[in-house]
Amino acid sequence: MKFNGVAVDATYVETVVVPRGAAQYVFKARPLSEADETFFEEVCPRPVPPEFTMPGGGKETDTTNAKYVESRRVWSERRSEFLFMRSLSATEDLEWDTVIEDDPTTWGNIENELLASGFLNPEIILIFNAAIAANGLDTSKIEKATKSFLATQAQEQD
């Protein structure tokens, strides 16, 4: 896809710098690609609600089934954890001790590893927010860009 003949830049990276004395820890977050999404669906398939047969033979899905509801909750958590893990893979030389890329049960260790490494909760929130922003989920930035665009359009019409 192009805008005004220019391809959309999908390599956008958000950067967070956490200073520690003379050291600076630079975290980079990138948007997830289609390949990332495919990998996630292969490693962690979306739960499917069970079906049951209605009187008369019709089939229905039971989205209130307790096991299904729990599996959706876990799947949603894993989806968020995957977003953070894959997005932060843009950070050069970042190595996790207990997070294994193809093991969804380890993805939730990211926050604990950051805490164990001495990062504070507000710093971790900034790091996670960078991943969210890199994936286009930062509504305040979208609203600001929209207002800026509309203001420019209004000036051009005057």
Q: What is the pLDDT of residues 56-101, one digit of tens each?
A: 888 899 999 999 999 999 999 999 999 999 999 999 999 999 999 9
Long-range contacts, stretch 105-108, CB < 8 angstroms, 24+ apart: 107/78, 107/81, 107/82, 108/77, 108/78, 108/81
CA gap 95, 108 in Å, rounded: 15
What are residue 59's phi and psi, to 5 degrees?
-100, 140
- Residue 123 reports pLDDT greater than 90: yes
CA gap 60, 54 in Å, rounded: 7
| pTM for this predicted structure | 0.78
Compute CA distances 97 → 111, 116, 139, whole Å. Answer: 12, 11, 33
